[in-house]
Structure 1
Amino acid sequence: MKPSPASQLPILRILAPFVLGILLAWRVPSWWWVAVMAGAGVAGYAALWLVSRSPQARYAARVWFTLPIILMGIALGGATTLVRRPHTIDLRQINNRPVEVMINDITFRDFSMMMDVQLTGGDRHSPHILLTTRGCDYRLCAGDVVTIPGRLQAVANNGNPDEMDYRQYLADKGILYQEHIDVRRLQPSGHHDNWPARLCNLRHRMERRILASTLEPEVQHFVIAMLVGERRFIDNETRQAFSRSGVAHVLALSGLHLGIITLLLWWLFLPLDYLGARKLRLAITLCCIAAFVFFTGASPSVVRSAVMVGCSFAGLMFFRRNNALNALLVAALLILYFSPQALRSVGFQLSFITVASILLFAPRLERVRNRVLAYVAGTVITSVVAMLSTLALTAYYFHGVALLSVVANLLVLPIVPVFLMLAALFLVVCATGGEMTWLNTLLEWCYTPMDAVTGWLSHLSWGHIDRVFVTGIDVFCYFMFILLAYAIWHKPRRRMLWLLASLVLVVAGVNRWWLHTHTPRSGRVVFNTYNATPIMHFNHARAMLWVPDASDFDLEGFEHRQAAFLAHHGIEHVELGHDSLYTLHQGCVVFDDCLLVTRRFHGHVDKILKITTAGKGKRLHVVLTGSIYEKEHDRLAHECDSVGVPYTTMRRSGAIVKFDVERGQ
């Protein structure tokens, strides 16, 4: 009797209900349903065990035993999510008094610092705080305890249309509150020495040593991204080039890099085989991989690859066959158990979907015996499978599709192992404080063709599709169709599978038609940003953007941040200039029946009242924009409250959107 796919993947029976429990806990964050699920699962399993006492009876009722296991898996997923959820704090007990916090991580910028801190004396589930400063204090490091003035605020979104949920993004990292202060208000008061702080400081020391080397800056940043796992040094132009050419995964520390490092370590410890210590060779390699995972911050893609390597090595040590899909599911289960919020991570989703698709489809498509042709065919097939499996997610999160990813992978991937091995040697040399000119030259030679290829492919107008807007329904239909296509491939005579696949296509088509016909193609928007007040007037594919309170506005950065809105409304070209519909008068702009008070306004509320009543039959509604400095914003809000002037602050209400009646056609 041929075993079923479920029997070949026993971890799937636990992982699927566990994920369902996580999703349910996000929607219903309560313990009552967890207790009900767990009680029903235990009671059902005990009842089935008592009813079917003989082995024959239990074998006959094996299908029914699945139901209580599913219920207990859902309960376990929900309980794990609720337990690991960060606790909230009462800001009334914290603010307006000195607060002592410990630095978990610190990032230095040109004239500011960004720190991840936690209140001292709290447990491991206490919330993290995003602390930003004006100015830098280079004496600070991870593990330091500092005292700050308590002015914490809950993290909030800007409220712009179609923007990324930044609040949820930080909440998934445990950050629920934020504060911005002057660096002179920081008062160091001690140091806590722990392993996370040591690893963080070690990463920063390695970054500083790499940056202090004579290597070209672009190559330095590339080495840091590939071996330390920190991509903030890579400039936007390089990121865009790699992303548009379809090889952005080279910049992100992932299974590709860990696989190459594993092979390097495996060859390095080859002499142990000649001494008859093969298991010792496996164990040392695994210890080195674990150390590398913790050193780089244990991102989901690296942990996934490390667990799969560990399962493979464990099979070799104990003479057991290894199932790559089972190892992948074990990795997913371990990551979600210790970090349920990773399920929302883009890296987690792309990493596991890509590897699962490659394991399912790629081996069935490779039928070449020649080694050279086999390598080319394997690279092409793997690239095509990876691209098609993540096409919907890439369009959903990044609003673009790279059409030349197969060509880019063929040209770039052969160079990556050589570069990574040289970079590993360079890292060891930097750790010892040395310098090798010939090694720097080789690294620069390897980097140059990768940079040239990605730069060339990214500038081809037909190599990338921009401004793609995909909804969650589209993503669901896409993956449902892939699963049904895989099932039809194995059982093409099942009419129900063909019917379901047709139904999925119909649902996707109706959703796209509804989106196209009900999306406004013209209107006006006042965006809420902290450094400017962009006012956009768009009509079909073109838009005029006027920024009355900023002379050096970054249009490219704005388009990148608002890519979802531009793609949603079909805006292909944004022009920066003055809109004749609006004028700036004493730091204020009249927008329909609103008076926008920008950061260029200087004065008191009586000056605002004169502007609101000048030449108008009715008083304009006052809107305090998000670009006003915090102290000035609070002062104007207090004056409006004192005089009784009704006002709205964009820091709470978000952007102002005025769509025209006309819809998409």
Structure 2
Amino acid sequence: MALFLALGITFGFYTNKHPFVIPKVWWFGILILPIVLLGITWLLGKRKLHPTPVFGLIVCFIFFGIGFANYTLRLPKYQPSHYTNNLQKDTFLQLKIKEHLKPNSYYENYLAEVIFQNATKTTGLLLLHIEKDSTVASLAVDEYLVVKGNPQRVRQPRNPYQFNYAQYMEHLGVHREMTIKSNSMLFRRKVHTSIVGFSERIRLHLIAKLQQTTLKHDELSILQAFVLGERRAIDKQLYEAYAAAGAIHILAVSGLHVGILYFILLFLLKPLTYTPYGARSRSIIIVLLLWCFALLAGLSPSVVRAVTMFSFFTVATALNRPTNSFNTLLLSFLVLLLIAPSWLFHVGFQLSYLAVFFILWLQPKLYALYKPKFYIDKTLWGIITVTIAAQAGILPLSLYYFHQFPGLFFLTNIVVLPVLGILLAGGLLLIVLAACNAVPTGYTEIYNEAITILNDFITWVAQQDFFLVRNISFSAGKMMVSYLVLVCLVILWKKTTSRRLVITLGSIALFVSVCIWDKKETSLNELVVFHKNRKTLIGVKTQEQLLLFSNDTTQIDATQPIPGYRAKMAIDSTTIAKVPSLFEYGDTTFLILDSLGVYSKLQQVDIAILTHSSKVNLTRFIDSVQPKLIIADGSNYKSYIDRWRETCTIKKLPFHHTGTKGAFTFK
């Protein structure tokens, strides 16, 4: 049932890309009619020992419809009170801060709920950017403010295969963003505290207490990350080192941390099982402590999902009834998607459930391959098999999303996982002691040294570039067929039959076919004028080779948007060259005008690219050269762009600005 619920949500996501609104009468057929048919089928077959196939088919269709409706009816176009349905120019908005996001160099970023639009009560979330000002305090969760402005759609990616931040925010329920200055807030106050705000206040209080200890900056930021879920203080280079070492999951409070805490609590509370009703008492205490940890970690979606999952496992164990771990896992999956259907599209949600599923399914078979005799090798073998099972389950999805594979992830996990349990327990104790102002100096120094050793180890692993494979081209088709191959191989391993062997070989043949198709798709040649602020970046792709034209020829390949483009288009090598003034691509001649705007009237030009706020007289240039298209990249000032656009409109000549329309692709 959980699978069909997920399929319904996915169907709702892809069918609601258009503005069409489903009439209310149609919802009768989507939701009510299947239930009526289910009742009729049940009445006709209730005397039978087993339900009929038709009954099962209708149940599946009902859950499919529930998933579709649960996702679709939460969209703004089906909510008359949503603020996006009544947007006006320079409207007054009363906002309530829901979350303080990671700031950038220029803005503090917040997730805000729109309470009122002018005098009308509304609903919906808004991405708010407030210009940084050292004289104005940052907004707190649950704080109210009134602003005047015009919310815009969240900006789409300007370059091909770049991270789609607009879609990411859409999955969070955010469909608009607004940028204001810090002094333009008309009113701000704090009325009452929600549970999320209460959690944020606790975290801020504990962080302030930890800052009074002798913990160093990097060590404190790591402790805040894997215990309190606060990652904003982590140094960028240190964060990238954890990512390169395949240990980024340590820094995000998720199923790993909750699972470790779950087993620690099981061990510590085991004496309760020797008392009457002790097993149930232990389960209740564990569930309460897990949710206290979730509150401590800020009630982020990842930790709420993990705690919900382990709460189901704990309750199932406490009932002392025969239960299947897969049923418990899928039940938690079902409940979470009923509460928040958009979580299905969160990368963390997908990775968490895939990892747990493959651990339950594959790890026992792996563990049976070797019979350890001693406690140490049992523990080590258990960590290795869990790591293999989890990594096998998430590998195709990780390659699809992140396009890299840390070759030393075995070494990282074998070292880090046992240590993480000690650090997590020690970190929780340190936080409790800090809250009570009773931290022994020696304890802080020991913990500080332990985190330092962990950071040094992670940094060393990250520096082994030979073992980190980057820019792996892995399409959605490869990802889905990879899971088909993986499932077939595991089923064949568990029981070898000729039929399963044929199916497995067929899945492998299908994977090879997808690889051949992807190779064909990525072998096409094209020219791309990328959008990059204050810079000119033009790429000419030929088969698996990429020639980049740029005014800055140092380390351009490591900056956006090149890595995403390289991974998607399976680029093997990149060459960097200075931007030419004139070049040909196929039968088309491109002229690039820099800040000087010098050109020859005798040149035959098809497409002109304006860069670095060229001083060219565009009207005279168009009359003399007569290009077919004018392109302006991200290196130009906005005032120049506006003037050039107006000139092209008068001349009835196509004008493409990469900052407005995105990168220009010519094939």
CA distance in 1, matches of 2:605, 2:199: 55
> 2:89 is matched with which residue?
95
Aligned to 1:94, the other structure's residue is in SS state: coil
Aligned counterpart for 2:129 among listed residues 120, 127, 132: 132
**Residue number in structure 2 paired with 1:457:** 461
Aligned to 1:515: 518
**Do the aligned residues in 2 keep the contact of 1:131 with 1:178 (CA within 8 Å)?**
yes
Superposed CA offset, 1:344-390 (max 9, x none): 11111111111101101111222324222211211111112222222
Matched residue type, 1:431: A
| Map of 1:254 onto structure 2 | 254
Asked if the contact 1:91/1:152 (under 8 Å) is kept, the reply is no
Structure 1 residues 552 and 416, CA, compared in 2 at 3 Å: closer, same or farther?
Answer: farther
Contact 1:533 1:626 in 2 (8 A): yes
**CA deviation after TM superposition for structure 1 residue 398, in Å:** 0.5
1:654 aligns with 2:642: no
Match of 1:340 in 2: 341
Per-residue deviation, residues 435-467 of structure 1 (Å, max 9, x unmatched) = 543233222322233223332333334312211
Q: Which amino acid aligns with 2:657?
A: T
Give the one of 43, 54, 63 matched to 1:73.
63
CA contact (8 A) 1:588 1:595 kept: no
Task: Report the equivalent of 1:41.
Answer: 34
CA distance in 2, matches of 1:631, 1:99: 30
Normalization by structure 2: what TM-score? 0.85
| 2:245 corresponds to 1:245 | yes
Distance in 2, matches of 1:261 and 1:341, equals 27
Determine if contact 1:307/1:330 at 8 Å carries over to the other structure. no
Change (3 A) 1:259 1:191: same
Distance 2:407 2:254 in 1: 22
Partner of 1:21: 8
What one-letter code is carried by the residue in structure 2 that aligns with 1:253?
V
Report if aligned partners of 2:70, 2:338 keep a CA contact under 8 Å in 1: yes
| Structure 1 residues 525 and 20: alpha-carbon distance in aligned structure 2, compared to 1, 3 A threshold | same
Letter in 1 for 2:510: V
Q: Which residue of structure 2 lines up, in the alignment, with residue 5 of structure 1?
A: none
Cα-to-partner distance string for 1:133-174 (whole Å, 9 max, x where unaligned) = 222332521222222222211123134222233221110011
1:6 match: none
Which residue number corresponds to residue 152 of structure 1? Answer: 151
Partner of 1:177: 176
Aligned to 2:585: none
State how far apart, in whole Å, the 1-side matches of 2:399 and 2:69 are: 33
**Aligned residue number for residue 110 of structure 2:** 115
Question: Aligned letter for 2:320?
Answer: F
- 8 A contact 1:104–1:142 mirrored in 2: yes
Aligned to 1:389: 393
Shift of 1:340: 0.8
In structure 2, the partner of 1:609 is 619
Structure 1 gap segments, 5+ residues each? 1-13, 660-665
- Give yes or no for contact 1:300–1:335 (8 Å, CA) kept in 2: no
Q: CA deviation at 1:420?
A: 1.2
How far does residue 415 in structure 1 lie from its aligned partner after superposition?
Answer: 1.3
- How many Å separate the matches in 2 of 1:252 and 1:322? 30
| 646 and 483 in structure 1: CA distance in 2 versus 1, 3 angstrom threshold | closer
Give CA deviations for 1:472-499 in whole Å, capped at 9, x if unaligned: 111111111222223333443252x333
- Is the alpha carbon distance of 1:612 and 1:297 closer, same or farther for their aligned partners in structure 2, counting shifts above 3 Å? farther
1:527 pairs with 527, 530, 552, which one? 530
1:50–1:105 Cα change, 3 Å: closer
In structure 2, distance between residues paired with 1:84 and 1:285: 34
- Secondary structure of 2:625 counterpart: coil
Q: Matches of 1:91 and 1:81 in 2, distance apart?
A: 18
SS at match of 1:164: coil
Work out whether residues 245 and 409 of structure 2, in 8 Å CA contact, stay in contact via their aligned partners in 1: yes
User: Following the alignment from structure 1 to structure 2, what is the Cα–Cα distance between the partners of residues 296 and 330?
Assistant: 24
Structure 1 position 45, deviation (Å): 2.3
Structure 1 length-normalised TM = 0.85
CA contact (8 A) 2:312 2:332 kept: no
The one-letter code of the counterpart of 1:296 is: A
Rounded to whole Å, the distance in 2 between the matches of 1:552 and 1:298 is: 45
* Inter-CA distance 46–110: structure 2 relative to 1 (3 Å threshold): closer
SS at match of 1:413: helix
More deviation, 85-94/66-75: 85-94
Q: Is contact 1:105-1:117 (8 Å) kept?
A: yes
**Are 2:530 and 2:633, in contact at CA under 8 Å, matched by a contact in 1?**
no
Q: CA deviation at 1:636?
A: 5.8
Q: CA deviation at 1:318?
A: 3.2
Contact 2:109–2:127 at 8 Å: present in 1 too?
yes
Structural mapping, 1:398-409, within 5 Å? 398-409=402-413
Q: Summarize the Cα distance change of 1:50–1:572 in structure 2 as closer, same or farther, 3 Å threshold.
A: closer
- The code of the aligned residue for 2:99 comes to D
Q: What secondary structure does 2:243 align onto?
A: helix
User: Greater shift after overlay, 532-541 or 69-78?
Assistant: 532-541
Distance 1:214 1:602, change over 3 A: farther
Partners of 2:638 and 2:406 lie apart in 1 by 41
Q: Tell me how far 1:199 sits from its aligned partner.
A: 2.5
Contact 1:37–1:71 under 8 Å retained in 2: no
- Aligned in 2, Cα 1:296/1:458: closer, same or farther, shift over 3 Å? same
Q: What SS does the corresponding residue of 1:99 show, helix, strand or coil?
A: strand
Cα distance in 1 for partners of 2:363, 2:333 equals 21
- Structure 2: give runs of 5+ residues left out of the alignment: 17-21, 583-591
Quote the Cα distance in structure 2 between the aligned partners of 1:92 and 1:124.
11
Query: What one-letter code is carried by the residue in structure 1 that aligns with 2:580?
Result: S
Sort the Cα spacing of 1:186 and 1:542 in 2 relative to 1 into closer, same or farther, 3 A.
farther
Aligned residue type for 1:113: E
Aligned to 1:84: 74
Q: Do 2:524 and 2:542's aligned partners in 1 also have CA atoms closer than 8 Å?
A: yes
**Inter-CA distance 487–285: structure 2 relative to 1 (3 Å threshold):** closer
Aligned partners of 2:640 and 2:396: how far apart in 1?
A: 44
Count of matched residue positions in the alignment of Structure 1 and Structure 2: 634
Q: Displacement of 1:124 after TM fit?
A: 11
Contact 1:383–1:409 under 8 Å retained in 2: yes
Q: Is the 8 A contact 1:399 1:563 kept in 2?
A: no
User: Once the two structures are superposed, what CA deviation does each residue of 1:249-272 show, in whole Å capped at 9, x if it has no partner?
Assistant: 222212221123234445666786
Identity of aligned residues (%): 20
| CA deviation string 1:565-597 (max 9, x = no partner) | 112333345566633356653276999744444
Task: Determine the structure 1 residue equivalent to 2:569.
Answer: 569
The 3 A distance-change label for structure 1 pair 588 and 458 is farther
Once the two structures are TM-superposed, the CA of residue 213 in structure 1 deviates from its matched residue by 4.3
Question: 1:98-140 CA distances to partner (integer Å, 9 max, x unpaired)?
Answer: 3322221224555421111122138999332111122233252
User: Are residues 1:488 and 2:485 paired?
Assistant: no
Q: Secondary structure at the match of 2:473?
A: coil
Using the alignment, how far apart are the partners of 1:248 and 1:43 within structure 2? 49
Deviations along 1:269-293, one digit per CA (max 9) or x if unpaired, are 6786788673444323311211222
Q: What CA distance in whole angstroms lies between the structure 2 residues aligned with 1:631 and 1:288?
A: 58
Which among 472, 493, 517 is matched to residue 468 of structure 1? 472
Aligned mates of 1:535, 1:201 — CA distance in 2: 48
1:245–1:463 Cα contact (<8 Å) kept: no
Question: Is contact 1:429–1:435 with CA below 8 Å preserved after alignment?
Answer: yes
Amino acid at match of 1:115: Y
Question: Matched residues in 2 for 1:310 and 1:349: separation?
Answer: 19
What does residue 52 of structure 1 align with?
45
Residue 187 of structure 2 aligns to a residue whose secondary structure is: strand
- The 8 Å contact of residues 153 and 179 in structure 1, kept in 2 or not, is answered as yes
The residue aligned with 2:366 is 365
- Partner amino acid, structure 2, of 1:140: L
Partner of 2:587: none
AA at the equivalent of 1:515: D
Q: Distance in 1 between matches of 2:30 and 2:498?
A: 35
Query: Does the residue aligned with 1:485 lie in a helix, a strand or coil?
Result: helix
